[in-house]
Amino acid sequence: GWTCSILPLVMTVQMDLVLLLVSVLAFWTRLSQLSYPNAVVFDEVYYGQFVSLYMKRVFFIDDSGPPLGHMILALGAYLGGFDGNFVWNRIGAEYPSSVNVWSLRLLPALCGALCVPLVYLLTLELKFSHLSALGAALLLLLENSLIVQSRFMLLESVLIFFVLLAVFSYLRFHNAPSCSWFRYGWLLLSGASCAAAIGVKYMGVFSHLLLLGVASLHTWTMIGDRTLNVCLQCVCRVVCLLVVPVLLYVFWFYIHLSILNRSGPHDQLMSSAFQASLQGGLSRITQGQPLEVAYGSQVTLRSSASQPIPCWLHSHKANYPIRYENGRGSSHQQQVTCYPFKDVNNWWIIKDPSRQELVVSSPPRPIRHGDVIQLVHGMTSRFLNSHDVAAPMSPHAQEISGYIDFNVSMPAQNLWRVEVSNRDSESEVWKTILSEVRLVHVNTSAVLKLSGVSLPDWGFRQLEVVAEKLFKAHSSSLGWTVEEHRYGTSEEQKEREAELHSPTHIDVDRKISFWAKFLELQWKMLTVKQEDSEHKYSSAPLEWITMETNIAYWLHPTTNAQIHLIGNPVSWGVANLCLMAYQLLAAVYLLRRRRGFKDLPDGVWSQFVCLGCVCVGGWLVNFVPFLLMEKTLFLYHYLPAQCYLYLLSPALLEHFSDSQDQSCDATHRRALCMCLSAGLLSVFLSYRNFCPLTYGSPELSANQLQALKWRDTWDILYRRH
């Protein structure tokens, strides 16, 4: 410490130079040459798309996690002046000069660097020595996989930072004198950090639950202490560790929904009320539409199979040719197609077969699952028809046409049964946007579907629509959704055409509350799952412990320079040994205590138990859930669990050393110190060895890369020059 005295002002500053040194080294290892490589690296291609949408304020849903992590990445991009105009379409794509790559990667790198001093301070809060704290900090500092994960626009380093900050803040609160009210600031910070961890990735929930368990045990031990107001202590803990995280979690979504107020690619997943709250896109057209489809409704029908480009059931004043190019004959009736543009010819009127009128009655008669209807084309008044005539491009299926009576013994077959595929009950009403329906041809039991084949020039290159027997058809191509909808009011054809030409937009105020949007978005995130596909670098959780797997993050297009997610094999092995050693030691202690032998004083035993709760417990809650998951998993999912083992290792060695001190002579202690020094040197040499794969430079020869392949299961690629 040093003292500066300028009467009457006296200031004393204490500085932990070791903490300062490891912090500087952490920033150097994580932030140096952060813009290299100037290309999209692995999952940057995934997160970058969301960052671009944030910059453009376009709504999206990411089912992999809550929005705080994306917002942190977007903040870095915003600070660097990123406008969102970069297409994240492939790994390895070069960033243009207009994109500030350094700012995109800055915040994850800062979080990764801050984890090193955090681990140092956390070890001290677990009441171990500065030497153990230095050991834990060095293990984290020299962990190649953590460096790689920190240096790119990825979220693991952000998650680890908030988890470590939550545990450190709680222990700081717990260890502070009970008379100090200032300590509740640490408890509040702990709760806020838990909320931030959960807001980055849902895996943060497990660390929060672990912290709640430790806090509950500590609270239980307070009961009976007459010097404390136990009720007040419990209320403070509940507010800081439960209420505050819940409120903050909701707050992340409030910011998320406030920023993303424009229509986007995921609108169709949300309710029409939600869509109406977004600017532009479908909401501009559909705002204020009737929800229930009724007899007399005027609708446009969008095919569920037309993804990602939409197309709508369409007809026009042109007939199928009398004969096709291959000589097959057709019905020569009016063409029905699927058209990928908004058009007045996409409008159809839903008619009751037992009545003549084409307007909605008062009150409207909604159409339910199982009802039989007719579909009348709005502009030409032709009925949607099918019959036993082969479709033009798909001869195995039936033709769909607008019926024209040529008086050639081809009677109309224009009855269709409505089946609501996503119904909750057998009397489900057909709803705008929300309902996906199948239209089953009553005479032949064939189902209306988009074949997806383009028609020739006579069909204006529009997409073919057919009717196909259900056992032949793929279910995904059978669905139709009412997108635009209004209640028809014009009985005369001329008036009806004018009505169809007018816009559907009705200025109705349909504001939806934040809570309704929050709950709907939560439900969609938890239920709408993207299809998981096998990935070349996916791995099973048990492979992480033994480090049988790696991930190639980036490969230079012409040289052998490359970046891989590979752990430091030496420190990884030390961590695994310490995990097994702790469990074995704990079992021995517990058995001996059960028989009445107390090997450790109560203070040391409490410290040993606390170490297990935090470190072994932290490893378990961040590893075991992955054993039960069916999603595609990668090595980086293991990094939060691995950090807890790096906390455990030096502390356990100190515990072992202290317990041996009573019976060991100076020679044994010197031998132990030499072993520890050799271990740390091995960790450093291993780190140095894999640095070319961590930073992507210097470029190695094929033989040097082959020498780095310490395990046969590692996928290290190289070119032989």
* pLDDT score, position 569: 92
Provide the CB-side half-sphere exposure for 69 (13 A, CA). Answer: 28
E runs forming strands in 531-571: 551-555, 562-565
Question: Nearest CA to 283 among 291, 275, 295, 271?
Answer: 275
Residue listed under structure tokens 């009976």? 224
C-alpha distance from residue 612 to each of 160, 476, 587, 598, 652 (Å): 19, 51, 12, 18, 10
**Type and span of the H or E element at 603:** helix 602-611
Structure tokens at 46: 């995934």
C-alpha distance from residue 285 to each of 15, 282, 300 (Å): 64, 5, 12
Rounded to two decimals, the pTM is 0.72
**Type and span of the H or E element at 483:** strand 480-487
How many Å apart are CA 53 and CA 43, to the nearest integer?
16
Strand partners, 342: none
How many Å apart are CA 195 and CA 30, to the nearest integer?
25
How many Å apart are CA 418 and CA 373, to the nearest integer?
7
Task: Let me know how many helices (H) and strands (E) the chain has, helices first.
Answer: 22, 16
Strand partners, 469: 446
* pLDDT score, position 356: 85
Tell me 455's DSSP state.
P
Between vectors from CA 39 to CA 35 and to CA 45, what angle results, nearest 5°? 115
What letter represents residue 293's amino acid?
A: V
Is domain 297-487 given the CATH code 2.80.10.50 in the classification? yes
- Beta-strand pair 312-319/384-390: unpaired
Question: Nearest CA to 480 among 310, 270, 352?
Answer: 310
Strand partners, 374: 351
Structure tokens at 607: 């410290």
Whether the bond into 364 is cis, omega within 30 of 0: no
Structure tokens at 187: 């408890």
How many Å apart are CA 484 and CA 283, to the nearest integer?
10
The answer to whether the beta carbons of residues 211 and 241 sit under 8 Å apart is: yes
* pLDDT score, position 721: 55
Residue listed under structure tokens 């202290």? 658
Q: Is the dihedral of CA 518, 522, 524, 525 positive or negative?
A: positive
* pLDDT score, position 509: 42
The answer to whether the beta carbons of residues 369 and 419 sit under 8 Å apart is: yes
3-state DSSP helix/strand/coil % of the chain, to nearest 5: 45, 15, 40
The answer to whether the beta carbons of residues 156 and 149 sit under 8 Å apart is: yes
Structure tokens at 290: 């009737």
Tell me 155's DSSP state.
S
Whether the bond into 37 is cis, omega within 30 of 0: yes
How many Å apart are CA 656 and CA 441, to the nearest integer?
79
* pLDDT score, position 295: 92
C-alpha distance from residue 437 to each of 112, 397, 448, 466 (Å): 50, 20, 10, 16
By the 10 Å C-beta count (0-12 exposed, 13-18 middle, 19+ buried), 122 is classed as buried
Rg (CA), the chain: 33
Classify 702 in phi/psi space as left (phi over 0), alpha (psi -120 to 50) or beta.
alpha
Return the domain boundaries, the chain.
297-487, 535-720
In the chain (721 residues long), the average pLDDT of successive 10-residue segments reads: 59 80 95 91 90 90 85 93 86 89 94 96 91 92 94 94 96 84 90 95 93 90 69 86 94 92 75 69 63 89 72 90 83 90 88 88 88 91 90 89 80 89 82 85 90 87 87 67 83 77 51 81 74 72 90 88 91 92 91 82 86 93 90 90 93 80 61 80 92 88 85 78 55
The answer to whether the beta carbons of residues 576 and 645 sit under 8 Å apart is: yes
